Structures are given as structure tokens and as C-alpha cells.
């Protein structure tokens, strides 16, 4: 019997009373989340600055505002999302009622990483709550300042019989995962993703895994190098590169590289000044472990821009590496830091082969003046999401589902997709006791004539009727 | 086995299975296969389940033909990019979700409806543009053999293949890497499949089972209820994942229910059930013996005859069943119908909720409010009110379980979606860089305000709105250029 057993039992009991079902309850919880964000904005910004040296701009735009927007979207649409979804019927069921009922699963576990600790907590949480579930939240122990606020402040804004925060490291998380949940939502890396899925398998718990990978960024020839450089640099160095959807590496021709590198330097200087370490707009690496890991990668290829690091500050300069070989460590793991390798390829085909030789990434980027090039990259590759001529802007549209494929993950969320992810889609057919004459067709003793008539009755209205 | 999967993956990588025309050709070939080789298919199914060919047709083949026709009619729409709502900043861009195939999928079938449980998922996998390996159940030997014989004759052999075998072949197959696995079967193996899938981060659809409860309210048309329940329970000799597993009702209804079901059984199968061509047999000796043991110590109100030689078990009803007895502990999957008495619908709901979430739930009542209440206060994969099984036949409804009865769903559009990756795409141009200046450092408070406005407001398509917004965007870009 471990420390989680009681908590989980209580949450399950609360769920079984039906408390989380009414729209009013869910809306009240969502409003609580909204108030949490508004009341504690200052503290949240400070915590994010403390954990990741996040600038106010980044905190606002990528953590607080996005979370707020999801809360608002859910509040606006809750009732319509909750409605039974009517579906089309066949002749035999014409007088019946056929619909999909969206139901909560029950007890949901949300495991959060450290890189966008507020956003990656709140956005799934909004979905889970809107869908009527009880939630156990496991924030990352690595982003300590936010973890504290989530553990101590957030519960005050929610009904604590239906929501709990659980703290701990890998060992505690492992213990937690031995328990049965009705849904598990995990954001993090593939290695732990496999562990989560294996644990979920023991209870047949459905899951969403938001993982990562190396997001390729193909840059075609004849692009305006400065525009490309601005965009790539911003998305790469945002949050000091610790973004699952950041462009991980560039693929371009030698000629393009020669234009891109000075343009990147230009962009970096413009964004962060001559000494980026003094810029308030550049984040820091989360901890020693990752700092050392990234420091090691600085030795790959040749440093064309940046390359400086300062352990006492967990600072790594916005860096661009060139002459990078596919076999070097920087091309073997997801970088998750402010280092951008450039790999040269002869042409588009080589770039596409390069991409397809590797695991399907979470995001894929292609920059080109020619829409056929963009469309080709799209058609010949696969990835969680795709953006042409920009970085992870596709994430800001909650009308687009966000998730991975292959080793970058399974399942998706954001906006209505969050609600659907945390809901069981229950197929319902309510028949009338009448119309038994038609039903007689299906009963034994069977006959060919009955079969023919039955076939007609079973075809959907929209299809053309064919009698055997 | 690794080489076989590799071969399929190569073929998939060549891109051959992606064009819609190719997929439709394969689906049309499948349709031809079902129509031209109907005799062989029906006799295989009939042999496996001691089923009449007529039954085999209506239980299995109809569904496949319907599914193929659905896909042929709807594929262009299903495979098309779906536009998404945009915000101010992306107003002039293209935003859509593009369905794509996953790659190589594995479909593991079950023995109770051996043809449809392979073919229906396969139709979805092909429609979605994947390569596929199907692994029919070895218990339904004849169907497994006929599938292995026919599918390569009609389908592209580099993209679709059949693997037959038992536990060791399946285990070997599960070690390989697939892009999706759809498994139909029982909970225990479902866990094994998901665990194997976890090693490769392969998403899974698990169509499992459980005990599907059937609540009969005192205020219902008992004649019709019993007729319908008899049909759903004893079809395929009870070996149906969504058969009404057991009945919950008030004690006072028990005798009448028994009487009416008894009468209906006679209508359906005649005086000598054993000789009815419409009554099937138990798949094998192991299951026969298992079912026999469920009868021990039970009050048999009707039926109960068994014959090991032919694996015949009569349509049987048990009354006053103890909820703790063996027959109430596992999915019956046979022609035995226990009746458990409850005081009222409250008790029925509690009874249901004390147990694992079932694949299907049935409620018979004239009172729509009561039906809605049972639905509201329980959970299950699917529900049919005032009938049984039928929600399976509406292919605009997703078919799947929840909790121990499974995860994921398929049929119709849901098959297509199950075997696809819905990829969000945002296509921008390289112009409009001045608006982007809003987001670049060095940052300022006013920039934050603008960024939030542009990023987080969403607009639906509407000509006037677009115009207004476009003007706003232009004005904003001009302001931005001037002041930032």
C-alpha cells in the first residue's frame, strides 16, 4: 500500500458520485483555472524566470496566454462539445435515435515535463476537466519553482475531491504508474513514453503520448535568406531551444548554407545583442545534466556562430554548427537546446531521403518560394505536424490537432481535440419497440427472400440501393 | 517474419498504396473476391462454426460488402484535406488537416466471426493507404486457409499479406515493428498485444469483450424484448462479443421471460433444435468444456442439454443466478443466459457499475427517461436501447470498447481514421515579415499585447469578416512597421 492509494481511491469515489458530470461543475472548474492564471500571473512569471530564465514575453505568449486561451475556448464551447453527436442512419434504423455520447473516462493521469511546465499542465488539464474527468497531476520535479505553485496554489482553485497533485521523481512516478488509471496523458521523451505505455498495458489504459524527435527544417535555394534566418532562429532559440517542436536541424544546399549562416548571425545579434548572455530575452538550460549534455554537443562539426557556454549560469550561446556528419552525436539525439546544426544536401530528393531514413518527427519544416517544393516535401514525408515557411506556428491554432506519429507520439490534443481525447465516444442506438415486422426479417428460420429484403433495409440512405 | 514486414515496408515506401485510384482498385478487387468466391468463403465459415451458409452470408459477408461500398463511395471525401479555422496572423495562409497512411499495419482476427473481423479492418487499412499483414485466428482454420489462399489472388502481394499460425507465430509477429495494430480478442491477450506494441511505440486498437448486461424494465414490451434478446443471444451459438451476456430484471419478471424466450427459441429453431440448420455449434472442445462447467450448480430453467461429439449446447437459461458464481465471473461466449434479479433500476445500475465497463449495454423499457438514465449513469463501448446488437450495424457509429472492453474504434469513417495519421499543415508565404517583427526580441510590453491579439483570436470563414480582418491586418502591419 503506497501513499497514492488513498488519494486515487478518493478521486475515484468522487468520480463515481457523478459530481464531475454536470456542465456547471466543469465550467466552474475551468473558471477556477482562469482565475488561477489571472491571480497568480506575477508569481507564475517569476517561477518561469527562475526555472528557465524565461522572459516575460515568452512566459506570456507561450505559457500564460496560451493556457488562458484554451480555458476560454473550453468555456465558450463546453456545452456544444458535450452534446450528443447525431449520426446518419440506414433504412432499418430510420425511426430510431442514433448518436455518439461523449463521456468522461474517469480518473485521468497527466504527466508533465519541465520545458513549458505551465502550458503543458494547463492545456491537457483543461481538456480532461472539460470532458468531466477527475485528474491526478504529476508536474515535473525538474522545474521546481512551477512545481511548487502547481502543488500549493493550483489546488485551491479547483474542487480538491476531484483533483490532486502528486509529487516526486522517476521512482515515485514508477510507483504511480502501477496503479490503474482510466486515461494517461504523457508529455516527454520516447524512452519514458515506452515505459508509460507498458505500464498502461497492464491495465488496458488508453493513452496519449506527446513525445519528440529531431524536427528537420529544409531550406530550399533561392529563398530570402534573412527572412528564413529570422524565422528559424526565433523558433530555434525560443526557450533556449528547449521546445519539442523547435526546428532541430537544417537541411540545405552548400550555396544556401553560405547565405544562411551570416543571416542567422544577423538575426541572433538583432534578437539577443552582441553578448547574448546579457540579453533578458534568452532563456537558460534547465539544469546541470542537460547543460553538460549540450556542452558535449558543441564539439560536433564546426562552430560557425556562438559556441560559448557558462556552467555557473547554465548558459549556452545561440549556436550554429556546420560541416556536421550524420553520425555525430548532435545528429543522433533530439538536441533540445540552442544549437542548430546545418547539414548540407545536394538537392530536394536527398533531403527527403535523409528525412525518411529517420524516425517520424513531431514537426517538419520546409522553406521555399515555390509551393510545389513545399507540397512535395509534404507529400513524400510524414510527421506529427507541418509548417511551410515558418516555425511552429501551427501549434498556435487550436483548430489544428497537435500530436506526433510513430516515435514522436500517438494521440493528439488542443482545443476540441483535447475534449475528444479525454472522452469515451459511446455509440448509442435507441430503437423503438415497434417496427417488429421489419425485424422479423432477421429472425430464424432464415430464408433467401428475407435476406434480400434485409439487405435493402440495411443500406445507408445516401448509398444507391441494390437488390441482390 | 522480419523480412516479410520489411518487404511490405519497402513496398509502402515506394508510395504505391497512396494514390486513391490504387486504393479503390484494391477495394474493388476485394469486392470481386467476395462476390466471385462467395461459395468458398461461405463454406469455410460454415465449416468453422457449423453455421448455415445463409447465416454466414448475413452475419459476415453483408457487412463486408457494405463496408467496401461505403469506402468506395466516400474515399475521396475521407482522404481529402480538411480546412481548419485560422487566427488573424494566419488569415492569409492555408491551414488544414491532411489524412495520411501510417505505414504497415497488423490486423489480428478472432475466430467467432473469422471473416468479417479480418476483412472489415483490412478494408479500412487499405482505404487509408497502408500496407497490411493480417493474422486470422488459427481456431477458425478453414477461414484462415481460405483467406491465405484468396487474398493474394486478388490483392497486391507486395503490400498485403496473410500470416497464419498459432501462439508462437503471433508472438514472433508481435516482435516486429508496425505502425498500428488492431487486435480483436480477449482481455488477457489484449494486454500482451499492447505491451508488445509499447516496445515500438505502436498505437493500438483493441476490440475486446466482457459481460454485456441486458436490463429488462418491468415497463416494457416483454414479448418483443424476449424475441430480440433470443435472436442476439443465441446467434452464432452465443459466440458474439456483443451478445447480451446476462439479464438483470426484477424477480417477478423471471418466469415470464423464461417462458417467452422458450417460445421464441421454438419459433426460431423448431422442436428439435439440434436439427435446425440455423443453430450453430461451439468452436472447439476446450470452449465446450468451459461452457459445460459454467452450468454446474446452476438452476437450469430451460435448455442445458449438451453433446460433446457435435459440441452442441442447447439454448439455455439460468435463473436465480448468484452474482458470485462462475457463470457471472467471465464472459460467457456461449448459449447460456443467466438471469440475475435486482430490486429495481438503481440496483441494476450499481450492479453494472461494480463491474468492468462492458463492450455493449442493453436496456429494454417503454420509459425513455429510464433508458437515458441508465446510459447517463453507466459506461460501455456501445448501447442499444430496446434491442440488441444493432448499434454494430450502423456504420456511422464508432464500434469499440472502453476500459477492459477495449480502446479505439472502427467501422466506416472510424476505420479510415484509425488507420490514418491526421497531419496538421500550415502553409505560409515568405512575405509579410514585418508583421513577424511583433514576435522577435528585443521584446516589450506592447509587443505582448499585439502578439496575444493576433495569435489567440480565432475567426470563422465569412466573406465580410474576412474583408474586415484583412483590412485590420494590413492596418496593423502598417502600424507595426511604423512604431516597432
Together in a domain, A335 and A191: no
Picking from B216, B240, B430 by the largest number of A CB atoms within 10 A of its own CB, the best residue to mutate is B430
CATH of the domain at A318: 3.40.309.10
- Among B214, B226, B241, B249, the active-site one is B241
pLDDT at B432: 72
* Cβ-based contacts of B428 with chain A (< 8 Å): 387-390, 393
Say which range, A165-174, A364-373, B359-368, B447-456, has the weakest mean pLDDT.
B447-456
Tell me, yes or no, if A326 is annotated catalytic.
no
Of the candidates B278, B377, B384, which has its C-beta nearest A445's C-beta? B278
- Alpha-carbon separation of residue B409 from A422, B78, B259, B406 (angstroms): 15, 16, 37, 9
Of the candidates B366, B390, B407, which has its C-beta nearest A433's C-beta? B366
CATH of the domain at A44: 3.40.605.10
Do A427 and B62 count as a contact with CB atoms less than 8 A apart?
no
Grid cell 459477408 in the structure block, residue: B61
Is residue B146 classed as helix, strand or coil in its secondary structure? helix
CA distance B94 to B429: 10
Q: Does B224 touch chain A (CB under 8 A)?
A: yes
The answer to whether the CB of A365 falls within 8 A of the CB of A213 is no
pLDDT at B457: 58
The answer to whether the CB of A341 falls within 8 A of the CB of A351 is no
- Residues spanned by the domain of A65: 4-211+412-424
Q: Which residues in chain A land under pLDDT 70?
A: 1, 448-449, 455, 457-468
Q: Mean pLDDT, to the nearest integer, of B218-228?
A: 95
Together in a domain, A320 and A171: no
User: Which chain A residue has the Cα nearest residue B222?
Assistant: A433
Per-residue model confidence as pLDDT tens digits over B306-329: 999 999 999 999 999 999 999 999
Do B426 and A439 count as a contact with CB atoms less than 8 A apart?
no
Per-residue model confidence as pLDDT tens digits over B15-48: 999 999 999 999 999 999 999 999 999 999 999 9
Structural domain includes residue A261: yes
pLDDT at A396: 83
Picking from B34, B82, B85, B201 by the largest number of A CB atoms within 10 A of its own CB, the best residue to mutate is B201
Q: With bands split at pLDDT 50, 70 and 90, how would you rate the model's confidence at B181?
A: very high
Say which range, B170-179, B408-417, B452-461, has the weakest mean pLDDT.
B452-461
Percent of chain B clearing pLDDT 90 (strictly above): 84
Together in a domain, A265 and A153: no
Cβ under 8 Å to A: B residues 230-249: 231
Tell me, yes or no, if A210 is annotated catalytic.
yes
User: Which chain A residue has the Cα nearest residue B190?
Assistant: A204
Closest chain B C-alpha to A75 CA, distance in angstroms = 15
Structural domain includes residue A306: yes
Per-residue model confidence as pLDDT tens digits over B272-304: 999 999 999 999 999 999 999 999 999 999 999
Give the three cell numbers for residue B36. Answer: 466471385
- Alpha-carbon separation of residue B195 from A185, A359, B175 (angstroms): 17, 21, 10
Structural domain includes residue A456: no
Start-to-end C-alpha separation, chain B = 62
When the pLDDT of each residue in chain B is averaged and rounded to a whole number, the result is: 93
Half-sphere exposure of B323 (CA within 13 A, CB side): 13
Do A272 and B441 count as a contact with CB atoms less than 8 A apart?
yes
- Among A58, A70, A210, A334, the active-site one is A210
Together in a domain, A157 and A76: yes
Of the candidates B199, B407, B409, which has its C-beta nearest A204's C-beta? B407
pLDDT at B29: 98
Of the candidates B87, B394, B407, which has its C-beta nearest A397's C-beta? B87
Together in a domain, A152 and A247: no
Together in a domain, A241 and A350: yes
* Cβ-based contacts of A430 with chain B (< 8 Å): 368, 371, 383-386
ipTM of the prediction: 0.94
Together in a domain, A189 and A250: no
Do B194 and A406 count as a contact with CB atoms less than 8 A apart?
no
Together in a domain, A24 and A93: yes
Together in a domain, A231 and A374: yes
User: Which chain B residue has the Cα nearest residue A224?
Assistant: B430
Provide, for chain A, the percentages of residues in helix, strand and coil under a 3-state DSSP scheme, each rounded to the nearest 5: 50, 15, 35
Closest chain A C-alpha to B297 CA, distance in angstroms = 31
* Cβ-based contacts of A428 with chain B (< 8 Å): 375, 382-385, 391, 397
Together in a domain, A311 and A201: no
pLDDT at B297: 94
List the B160-162 sheet strands across, edge first: B160-162, B131-135, B104-108, B180-184, B204-207, B406-407
H, E, C per residue of A278-331: HCCCCCCCCCHHHHHHHHHHCCCCEEEECCCEEHHHCEECCEEEECCCCCCHHH
Do B276 and A445 count as a contact with CB atoms less than 8 A apart?
yes
Structural domain includes residue A430: no
Q: With bands split at pLDDT 50, 70 and 90, how would you rate the model's confidence at B468?
A: low
Q: Does B433 touch chain A (CB under 8 A)?
A: yes
What's the CA angle centered on B23, arms B20 and B25, to 5 degrees?
110
* Cβ-based contacts of A198 with chain B (< 8 Å): 195, 198-199
E strand or H helix at A38: helix A23-39
Structural domain includes residue A439: no
A57 C-beta neighbours (distance < 10 Å), count:
21
Q: Mean pLDDT, to the nearest integer, of B440-465?
A: 63
Structural domains counted in chain A: 2
pLDDT at A461: 41
- Alpha-carbon separation of residue B246 from A2, A433, B183, B335 (angstroms): 37, 20, 25, 11
Q: Does B404 touch chain A (CB under 8 A)?
A: yes
Q: With bands split at pLDDT 50, 70 and 90, how would you rate the model's confidence at B455?
A: low
User: Which chain A residue has the Cα nearest residue B433?
Assistant: A227
User: Which chain B residue has the Cα nearest residue A414?
Assistant: B424
Structural domain includes residue A282: yes
User: Which chain A residue has the Cα nearest residue B437?
Assistant: A230
* Cβ-based contacts of B55 with chain A (< 8 Å): 446
pTM, two decimals, is 0.94
Of the candidates A65, A105, A430, which has its C-beta nearest B385's C-beta? A430
The answer to whether the CB of B217 falls within 8 A of the CB of B364 is yes
Per-residue model confidence as pLDDT tens digits over B113-139: 999 999 999 999 999 999 999 999 999
Q: Does B263 touch chain A (CB under 8 A)?
A: no
Of the candidates B201, B382, B451, which has its C-beta nearest A426's C-beta? B382
E strand or H helix at A216: strand A216-219
DSSP B410: B
* Cβ-based contacts of A458 with chain B (< 8 Å): 62, 66, 393
In B225-256, which positions are buried (b, 16+ CB within 10 angstroms) versus exposed (e)? Answer: bbbbbbbbbbbbbbbbbbbbbbbbbbeebbee
Phi and psi based region of residue A374 (left: phi greater than 0; alpha: psi -120 to 50; beta: remaining): alpha
Together in a domain, A201 and A224: no
Of the candidates B57, B397, B451, which has its C-beta nearest A427's C-beta? B397
Give the three cell numbers for residue A308. Answer: 560559448
A451 C-beta neighbours (distance < 10 Å), count:
17
**B442 vs B215: which has the higher pLDDT:** B215
Structural domain includes residue A16: yes
Q: Mean pLDDT, to the nearest integer, of B426-434?
A: 83
Structural domain includes residue A468: no
Cβ under 8 Å to A: B residues 332-351: none
What ranges in B179-273 are assigned the alpha helix state H?
187-200, 222-234, 254-269
Together in a domain, A105 and A222: no
Amino acid at each position: 500500500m503506497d501513499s497514492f492509494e488513498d488519494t486515487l481511491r478518493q478521486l475515484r469515489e468522487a468520480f463515481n458520485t457523478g459530481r464531475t458530470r454536470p456542465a456547471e461543475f466543469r465550467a466552474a472548474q475551468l473558471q477556477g483555472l482562469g482565475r488561477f492564471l489571472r491571480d497568480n500571473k506575477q508569481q507564475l512569471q517569476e517561477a518561469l524566470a527562475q526555472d528557465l530564465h524565461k522572459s516575460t514575453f515568452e512566459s506570456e505568449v507561450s505559457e500564460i496566454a496560451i493556457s488562458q486561451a484554451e480555458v476560454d475556448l473550453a468555456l465558450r464551447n463546453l456545452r456544444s462539445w458535450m452534446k450528443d453527436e447525431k449520426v446518419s442512419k440506414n433504412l432499418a434504423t430510420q425511426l430510431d435515435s442514433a448518436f455518439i455520447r461523449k463521456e468522461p473516462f474517469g480518473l485521468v493521469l497527466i504527466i508533465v515535463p519541465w520545458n513549458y511546465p505551465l502550458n503543458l499542465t494547463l492545456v491537457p488539464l483543461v481538456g480532461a476537466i472539460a470532458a468531466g474527468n477527475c485528474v491526478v497531476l504529476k508536474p515535473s520535479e525538474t522545474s521546481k519553482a512551477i512545481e511548487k505553485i502547481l502543488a500549493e496554489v493550483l489546488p485551491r482553485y479547483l474542487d480538491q475531491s476531484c483533483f490532486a497533485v502528486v509529487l516526486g521523481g522517476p521512482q515515485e512516478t514508477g510507483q504511480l504508474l502501477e496503479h490503474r488509471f482510466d486515461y494517461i496523458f504523457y508529455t516527454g521523451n520516447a524512452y519514458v513514453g515506452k515505459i508509460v505505455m507498458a505500464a498502461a498495458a497492464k491495465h488496458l489504459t488508453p493513452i496519449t503520448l506527446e513525445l519528440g524527435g529531431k524536427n528537420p527544417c529544409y531550406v530550399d535555394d533561392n529563398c530570402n535568406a534573412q527572412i528564413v534566418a529570422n524565422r528559424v532562429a526565433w523558433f530555434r532559440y525560443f526557450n533556449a531551444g528547449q521546445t519539442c517542436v523547435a526546428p532541430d536541424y537544417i537541411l540545405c544546399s552548400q550555396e544556401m548554407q553560405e547565405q544562411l549562416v551570416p543571416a542567422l548571425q544577423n538575426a541572433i545579434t538583432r534578437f539577443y545583442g552582441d553578448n547574448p548572455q546579457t540579453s533578458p530575452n534568452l532563456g537558460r538550460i534547465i539544469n546541470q545534466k542537460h547543460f553538460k549534455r549540450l556542452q558535449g554537443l558543441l564539439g560536433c562539426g564546426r562552430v560557425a556562430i556562438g559556441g560559448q557556454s557558462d556552467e555557473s549560469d547554465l548558459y549556452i550561446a545561440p549556436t550554429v554548427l556546420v560541416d556536421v556528419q550524420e553520425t555525430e552525436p548532435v545528429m543522433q539525439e533530439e538536441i533540445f537546446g540552442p544549437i542548430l546544426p546545418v547539414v548540407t544536401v545536394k538537392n530536394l530528393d536527398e533531403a527527403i531521403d535523409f528525412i525518411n531514413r529517420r524516425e517520424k518527427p513531431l514537426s517538419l519544416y520546409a522553406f521555399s518560394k515555390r509551393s510545389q517544393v513545399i507540397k512535395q516535401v509534404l507529400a513524400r514525408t510524414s510527421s506529427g505536424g507541418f509548417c511551410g515557411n515558418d516555425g511552429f506556428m501551427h501549434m498556435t491554432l487550436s483548430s489544428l490537432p497537435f500530436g506526433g506519429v510513430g516515435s514522436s507520439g500517438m494521440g493528439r490534443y488542443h482545443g476540441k481535440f483535447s475534449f475528444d481525447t479525454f472522452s469515451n465516444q459511446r455509440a448509442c442506438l435507441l430503437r423503438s419497440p415497434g417496427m417488429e415486422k421489419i425485424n422479423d426479417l432477421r429472425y430464424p428460420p432464415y430464408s433467401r427472400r428475407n435476406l434480400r429484403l434485409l439487405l435493402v433495409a440495411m443500406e445507408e440512405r445516401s448509398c444507391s440501393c441494390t437488390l441482390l | 517474419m522480419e523480412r516479410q514486414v520489411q518487404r511490405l515496408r519497402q513496398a509502402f515506401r515506394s508510395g504505391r498504396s497512396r494514390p486513391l485510384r490504387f486504393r479503390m482498385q484494391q477495394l474493388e478487387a476485394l469486392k470481386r473476391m467476395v462476390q466471385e468466391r462467395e461459395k468458398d468463403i461461405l463454406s469455410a465459415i460454415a465449416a468453422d462454426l457449423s453455421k448455415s451458409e445463409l447465416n454466414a452470408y448475413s452475419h459476415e459477408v453483408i457487412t463486408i460488402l457494405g463496408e467496401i461500398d461505403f469506402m468506395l463511395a466516400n474515399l475521396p471525401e475521407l482522404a481529402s484535406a480538411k480546412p481548419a479555422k485560422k487566427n488573424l496572423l494566419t488569415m492569409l495562409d492555408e491551414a488544414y488537416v491532411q489524412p495520411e497512411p501510417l505505414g504497415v499495419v497488423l490486423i489480428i482476427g478472432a475466430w467467432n466471426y473469422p471473416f468479417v473481423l479480418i476483412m472489415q479492418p483490412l478494408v479500412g487499412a487499405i482505404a487509408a493507404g497502408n500496407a497490411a499483414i493480417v493474422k486470422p485466428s488459427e481456431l477458425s482454420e478453414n477461414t484462415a486457409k481460405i483467406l491465405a489462399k484468396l487474398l493474394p489472388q486478388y490483392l497486391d502481394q507486395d503490400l498485403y499479406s496473410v500470416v497464419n499460425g498459432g501462439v508462437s507465430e503471433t508472438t514472433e509477429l508481435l516482435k516486429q515493428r508496425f505502425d498500428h495494430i488492431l487486435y480483436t480478442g480477449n482481455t488477457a491477450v489484449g494486454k500482451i498485444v499492447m505491451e508488445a506494441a509499447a516496445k515500438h511505440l505502436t498505437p493500438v486498437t483493441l476490440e475486446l469483450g466482457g459481460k454485456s448486461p441486458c436490463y429488462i424494465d418491468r415497463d416494457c414490451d416483454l414479448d418483443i424484448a424476449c424475441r430480440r434478446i433470443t435472436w442476439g443471444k443465441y446467434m452464432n451459438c452465443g459466440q458474439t462479443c456483443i451478445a447480451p451476456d446476462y439479464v438483470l430484471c426484477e424477480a417477478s419478471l423471471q418466469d415470464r421471460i423464461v417462458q417467452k424466450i422458450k417460445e421464441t427459441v421454438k419459433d426460431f429453431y423448431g422442436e428439435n433444435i439440434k436439427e435446425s440448420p440455423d443453430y450453430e455449434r461451439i468452436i472447439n472442445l476446450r470452449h465446450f468444456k468451459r461452457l459445460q462447467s459454467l452450468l454446474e450448480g446452476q438452476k437450469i430453467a430451460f435448455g442445458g442439454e449438451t453433446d460433446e461429439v457435435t459440441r452442441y449446447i442447447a439454448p439455455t437459461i439460468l435463473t436465480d443466478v448468484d452474482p458470485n458464481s462462475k457463470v457471472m465471473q467471465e464472459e460467457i461466449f456461449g448459449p447460456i443466459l443467466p438471469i440475475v434479479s435486482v430490486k429495481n433500476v438503481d440496483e441494476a445500475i450499481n450492479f453494472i457499475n461494480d463491474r468492468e465497463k462492458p463492450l455493449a449495454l442493453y436496456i429494454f423499457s417503454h420509459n425513455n427517461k429510464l433508458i437515458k438514465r441508465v446510459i447517463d449513469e453507466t459506461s460501455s463501448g456501445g448501447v442499444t436501447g430496446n434491442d440488441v446488437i444493432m448499434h454494430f450495424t450502423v456504420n456511422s457509429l464508432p464500434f469499440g470498447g472502453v476500459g477492459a472492453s477495449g480502446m479505439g474504434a472502427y467501422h466506416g469513417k472510424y476505420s479510415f481514421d484509425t488507420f490514418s495519421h491526421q497531419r496538421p499543415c500550415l502553409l505560409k508565404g515568405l512575405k509579410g515579415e514585418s508583421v513577424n517583427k511583433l514576435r522577435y526580441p528585443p521584446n516589450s510590453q506592447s509587443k505582448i499585447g499585439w502578439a496575444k491579439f493576433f495569435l489567440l483570436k480565432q475567426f470563422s470563414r465569412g466573406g465580410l469578416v474576412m474583408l474586415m480582418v484583412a483590412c485590420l491586418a494590413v492596418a496593423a502591419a502598417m502600424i507595426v512597421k511604423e512604431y516597432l
